[in-house]
Copies of this chain bind each other. A is one copy, B any other.
Amino acid sequence: MSTSRTPIPFSRESLEQVLKRRFFFAPAFEIYGGVSGLYDYGPPGCALQANIMDTWRKHFILEEDMLEVDCTMLTPHEVLKTSGHVDKFADWMCRDLKTGEIFRADHLVEEVLEARLKGDKAARGVAINEGEEEDADKKKRKKKVKEIKSIKLDDEVVKEYENVLAQIDGYSGSQLGELMTKYKINNPATDGPLELPIEFNLMFETAIGPSGQLKGFLRPETAQGQFLNFSKLLDCNNEKMPFASASIGKSFRNEISPRAGLLRVREFLMAEIEHYVDPDNKSHSRFDEIKDLKLKFLPKGVQESGSNELTEKSLGEAVSSGMVDNETLGYFLARIYSFLIKIGVDPSRLRFRQHMSNEMAHYAADCWDAELHTSYGWIECVGCADRSAYDLSVHSARTNEKLVVRQPLPEPVLVEKYEVNIAKKKFGPKFRKDAGTVENWLLARTQCELEDLCKELNENNKIVFKIDSIPNSIELDTEFVKIEKVKRTEHIREFTPNVIEPSFGIGRILYSIFEHQFWARPEDKDRTVLSLPPLVAPTKVLLVPLSSNAELQPIVKKISAFLRKEQVPFKVDDSSASIGKRYARNDELGTPFGITIDFDSVKDESVTLRDRDSTKQVRGSLEDIVEAIKDIAYNNVSWTDGTSKLTPFDSQSEA
């Protein structure tokens, strides 16, 4: 929203009232008291979401010829154990055994220390500037610390607190526990003691099947289903590389204490792309098309030096300077940018923040988040990570199914490599049911591992190793296995592709767009408008008969039929409210166009078209008006160009 349009300051309360009143969304099970972190989308929210997803599908899947899949949400334990989610997808929580309250440990420490720093400033008589707080997590929760006590701290303590806060995202559970003990952090409401932080896995658990023995989870992301189908998808793509799969669907996270509306919820819509590339060649065939686009970046080095200053750079520069790891990653940053702008994000409130070294998974080559600025601070809305070969490798190792690409080499090459020879006949009697597992384990070793094993075998005449699923150590001598370096002419190159993963949190994007596009008409702060782009607006047209006079009924019916045939989503408002009231209602719903039907319409089928944002009106034949609507809504034409052939119309006051 340009500031010229909104001299009235943004009010989150006013936006929340509109979203609730028009049922964009609402707490789920509200008549039962609600469940925190669960929201239902009402008709306008649902239509907006559907239009955004339709745009996403066209922008990514159709435009880039991606392979869409729809995988199950129920996921067995074993899959998420392999992916690392069972062990690592957790937050730290601490309980107050007396009141039963549960706190997320990092959030609690952060909030208490911040409150103490504020109290210190108060005691020192220093003004507190709320606007300073730029960090999302700080403001997006309702405060647990209700009261700021004006108590002066030692200068040294202030320094310590500030230092802790700067690193708050990096502490382990035991470190958080130490901080709580050291700084005497208790339940802020009662000052009662808290248990030390314990790990809480964020996945919803359930049992699959009647025996209760197959433990499962609701997926925390859509990615794993895509990875598991890799070989089938490669086959669908006629074995051609690079290619991408994509998936749109719900995922689940059992947040410890969700707040902040759509920004932190327990069930949410995601759209994820897994783009598979050759690890030796991460160039992108369409990089040239976007290389001159300039984006605002916040690279890791800047953050690590304690600054938030943005760098504006073209993607060409960003990649060639090495700031963005590779062309494919850069290409997706550009595509994410153009998608977000298309659906209504304010470009001045969008930045790309790079993950710092201690934030990123050990296997990731690079990771950037598209962050949107809201009244809660900067919010991570899209992640774009180069996950290297991690996911395919771990699932392959666990299942002994190859998840690789095989490509004919342009010319055969002579390679020296270690090879394993197994005396299969002897394996059966020795290992019985485990024979296959041991064989597969040996065959799955990397060249480095084989080099070590070869050495061990030469030195000791045996190798000794351990396989997770077999209790005892395994010992093999040269009767059972030979490992040798051999020379071979190879015609095929086999490799595990790397994965570049753009991952969209749709609810967060939706909410940010609400904030970016909400404003109040300068003449009246209660006349609020949601300037959703026509492309994604829930309804394109409000049909308004000037009066409820029966004479207008047939033409309303005729125009409705025409709009339906032309597939322009519309609503009729033939209520007895004034024209102005009816338009105001639909300004709140983000409906970009109004068609007014009056007594002249009965005579010559001409109608008036109203623009939501400017309230300008033009007059013309129904056909011309609908053509203008379609051009503006679907073909990216401006109001001025789209209505250039129509007659300006002096509107009566809307007050």
A binding-site residues for B, Cβ under 8 Å: 22-23, 26, 28-32, 35-36, 38-43, 45-47, 49-50, 57-58, 62-63, 65, 67-76, 78-79, 93, 100, 102, 200, 204-211, 214, 216, 218, 225, 228-229, 231-233, 235-236, 238, 250, 252, 254, 256-257, 266-267, 395, 398-399, 401, 403, 564, 567, 569, 571, 573, 575
Contacts and interface: CB of A to CB of B under 8 A. Distances in A.
Nearest to A203: B206
Given A31-B395, A40-B225, A50-B57, 19 more contacts: A22-B236, A23-B233, A29-B75, A31-B228, A31-B231, A31-B401, A32-B76, A36-B209, A40-B69, A41-B70, A46-B70, A62-B569, A65-B571, A72-B267, A73-B267, A74-B204, A74-B252, A93-B210, A238-B575
Copies in the complex: 2
Given A23-B236, A31-B228, A210 B102 contact: yes
B210 A32 contact: no
Nearest to A68: B46
Which DSSP category, helix, strand, loop or mixed, fits chain A's interface?
mixed
A398 B31 CA distance: 10
Contact of A40 (B23, B71, B79): B71
A206 B208 contact: no
26 contacts: A23-B232, A23-B233, A26-B229, A29-B75, A31-B231, A32-B76, A32-B228, A32-B399, A35-B74, A38-B74, A39-B72, A40-B229, A42-B232, A43-B68, A43-B69, A46-B68, A58-B567, A65-B571, A73-B73, A73-B267, A74-B252, A74-B266, A74-B267, A204-B207, A204-B208, A206-B218
B399 A31 contact: yes
A35 B250 contact: no
For A208, A395, A399, A573, the residue with the greatest tally of chain B CB atoms inside 10 Å of its CB is A208
Contact of A26 (B207, B210, B232): B232
Contact of A254 (B70, B210, B254, B399): B210
A139 B79 CA distance: 33
Nearest to A204: B206
Nearest to A66: B43
For A41, A46, A70, A567, the residue with the greatest tally of chain B CB atoms inside 10 Å of its CB is A70
A74 B32 CA distance: 14
A206 B209 contact: no
Contacts of A65: 571
